[in-house]
Amino acid sequence: MKRAFLNGFTVNVASQIVTAALQFISIPVYISQWGAPAYGIWLLYFSLPAYLAVMDLGYSTAAGNDMTLAVAKQDYFAARRTFQTSWIITATLSVLIGLIGAIVAFLISVNDFPQTVDVPGPTARAIFILVLLYGLGAVQMNMIIAAYRSAHLYARGVALTMIVIALESSFSLALTLAGYGLLASAIAYTVIRWLSIPACWAVLRLGAPWLSLFPFAGTKNELTRLLRPALASLSLPFGFAVTLQGSIAAIGFSVLPAAVAAFSTVRVVTRTPFQLANAVSNAVMPEFTLAVGRSDIGRAQALFVLNATLLVCILVPGCLALALVGVPLVRVWTNGHVDPPVELVLGLTLAAAFHASWLFVANLLLAVNRHRVYASAYPIVSIFGIVAVRIVAPLGLATVAIPLVAIELTMLLIVWWEFDKFMRIAWTELWKGFFDLLAQFRKAIWRERSNV
């Protein structure tokens, strides 16, 4: 268990570092080469994949959890049946959505697409279609990554995803620095994403030869059985899409595209330190599922206490650092193109910390398909919060953080209440885990000093 968790945690940390590095490199390049208005348009269009992520109806998440439990019992036929059933529905929905999106894109006028002087209507339409294809490719990739997790190849799947994202960003940056615009970057993203799908599938088959598309073993009963947990898990990506991308749309359509660029830049800075918390959460999910699947509640509780302690050690220093240097960091990073109000930085920092906290606990519930209560609440809370963002956005960027903080704090209270019913964790256990971790760090430091 320790080796699997450490492998998953290590590759997640590496992935978050690579993603953060690419963001810190790309954002100032895009703003300087395209201008803030055009970059704001880019962000509006690239919010589309987040909404498309919910178009699989949650089957990839539910199937991944179910397959992991089946593999833990060495029932490979059941795992293959679940994968094939979920894959066929995901592929079918992707084809239908792609056709509908393409038809709509050509039926509406080019003047109705969000655009600027540097991004005219015909170019905006082409970017929309390419981003649509990119998002549908990401849906297929999600299904493959769920299979990696179930086959105890989680670290390998995350590493491959990291490579794909790095390739997409690198090609886009190279084209931008060479003087090309948004359309060329959209082409690069889409082509690389679709080429990566068969490559990742081939690597998966090497590690899990029992997993195949044929002969087809999917059934209607399997489709029906997975529907309820699938729809429940659907609320998470939907809520994320509403909160993360809906805020961009609310600001973009109520203020100006340049305001979207400023808001997104600050949000990247405030969320980056907490990506390590996501690494903890994602790495522990497969091990937590296995522990619960084997009725080893003691191990499941130990995993929670250990990782909750690590989470606190990440969040507290991260919040303090951003409170002190967040504003000057954004100014220096964007070469003065973005000068955010301090209230926006502090508010988004607090929102990111609350988000990382509840997402860690929510992922554990999701890993064992016990997420229906908070899953039902998240879309509702997110929609109310983004409506509030739309209302306060004209008052200035400093105000939009208030409803975002309210969304995350509300979800933290709801998720913890639900987790506490499932697995009673005493606060004394959390404190004990925290001080045990500190003691281990002290011992490690003393060993290093002794060896010097």
CA R_g for the chain:
22
Supply the pLDDT for residue 22.
Answer: 85
Q: CA-CA distance, 150 to 146, in Å (whole number)?
A: 6
CB 364 within 8 A of CB 284: yes
Taking only the tens place, the pLDDT of each residue in 371-405 is 777 778 888 999 999 899 888 888 888 888 899 99
Please classify residue 419 by burial: count the beta carbons closer than 10 Å to its beta carbon, then call 0-12 exposed, 13-18 middle and 19+ buried: buried
Tokens of 129: 């279609």
Residue 56: per-residue pLDDT: 73
Query: How many angstroms separate the CA atoms of 62 and 369, rounded?
Result: 7
pLDDT over 70 percentage in the chain? 83
pLDDT in tens, 402-416: 999 999 999 999 988
Task: Say if CB 40 and CB 258 are below 8 A apart.
Answer: yes
Q: What single letter denotes the amino acid at residue 171?
A: F
Say if CB 159 and CB 11 are below 8 A apart: yes
Please say if the pLDDT value at position 365 is more than 70. Answer: yes
pLDDT in tens, 151-196: 878 788 888 988 999 999 999 999 999 999 899 999 999 999 999 9
Q: Give the pLDDT band of residue 279 (cuts 50, 70, 90).
A: low
